[in-house]
Amino acid sequence: MESEQAVNFYRQFIPSLAAHLKEAYPEVLYAQHIADEPTSDNIKSYVAIARFVKQQCPDIKIIEACHTHDLENILDIWVPQLNFYKEGYDFYRERQKQGDETWFYTCLAPQGDFANRFLEQPLIKTRLIHWLNFKYGATGYLHWGFNQWFTGNDPYKETTRMNEEGGNTLPGGDSWIVYPNNGKLYGSIRLEAMRDGIADYTLLKMLEKKNPELARELCRLVVFHWTLYDTESDHFRNIRHQILEELSK
């Protein structure tokens, strides 16, 4: 915001972008990210930029992966890391009551018993990410990473590497869930599991409209709480079959 050149550019660019999206892609849902994972150390500059963006286009939604609660009346879509969502659950539910959206995301964390998308985890845990969405009321999931391949690495041979920016070793499968193929994408089995989980979420939301208590109970029989799940495959298929049977009546 200290750069006159940058401010001048964005005063022209942001309204032009909004007008273009409205005219050319009216069906597209668009939200604006500003700076990844704002914290108390950079909150003032983040707020200044976000307010500037809103001044140029009041209707634009601000979305952010966030590690702080100090962004009330700034963010429209809160995206805490899954473990931070757990720790601040009451706060995020209150933000939803005030009209904000809450998603969550996973990355190299959380680990342990939390659902994530690592290669070393049971595949069903990737699918259950979206059962957590249903159980705890999150309405979206932000991908880290979808196709964050590293320059000079063959993603078919190397599953991870050191994150030079953060100094962290990224777990296998953390950085991508699709694979490159001459300008095309190959989906992984983890991507298929995520798609199935999204379909499960849709079915649970459909059942919730018909029988909310049953939807919550069937979800509870698979996801007991944030870090404890029944991952036995026959049990899972039986619960999903019950959902389908109930919806077919």
Give the per-residue pLDDT at 163: 66
Model pLDDT for residues 162-200, shown as the tens digit of each residue: 766 667 788 999 999 999 998 899 999 999 999 999 999
Give the per-residue pLDDT at 164: 64
CA distance 79 to 151: 28
Give the per-residue pLDDT at 40: 82
Give the CA angle between residues 226, 227, 230 to the nearest 5°. Answer: 105
Average pLDDT value for residue range 215-223: 98
The answer, yes or no, to whether residue 18 has pLDDT greater than 70, is: yes
Give the per-residue pLDDT at 86: 98
Average pLDDT value for residue range 76-102: 97
- Confidence grade of residue 158 (pLDDT, cut at 50, 70, 90): confident
- Going from N- to C-terminal start, the domains of the chain cover 106-248
The DSSP string of 160-199 is --EETTTTEEPPTTSSBSEEEETTEEEEPHHHHHHHHHHH
CA distance 105 to 141: 6
Looking at the chain, the whole-number percentage of residues with pLDDT higher than 90 is: 85
Specify burial of residue 133 (Cβ count, 10 A radius: 0-12, 13-18, 19+): buried
Model pLDDT for residues 222-242, shown as the tens digit of each residue: 999 999 999 999 999 999 999
Give the per-residue pLDDT at 41: 85
The contacts of residue 104 (CB under 8 Å, 6+ apart) are 79, 80, 81, 82, 85, 132, 133, 138, 141, 142
Residue 19 tokens read as 């007008």
Give the per-residue pLDDT at 165: 63
CA atoms within 13 A on the CB side of 204: 28
The answer, yes or no, to whether residue 149 has pLDDT greater than 90, is: no
Q: Are 28 and 58 in contact (CB under 8 A)?
A: no
Question: Which range among 111-125, 151-165, 180-194 shows the weakest confidence by mean pLDDT?
Answer: 151-165
Q: Are 204 and 239 in contact (CB under 8 A)?
A: no
Q: What is the mean pLDDT of the chain?
A: 94
Question: Which range among 5-14, 87-96, 150-159, 184-193 shows the weakest confidence by mean pLDDT?
Answer: 150-159
The answer, yes or no, to whether residue 151 has pLDDT greater than 90, is: no
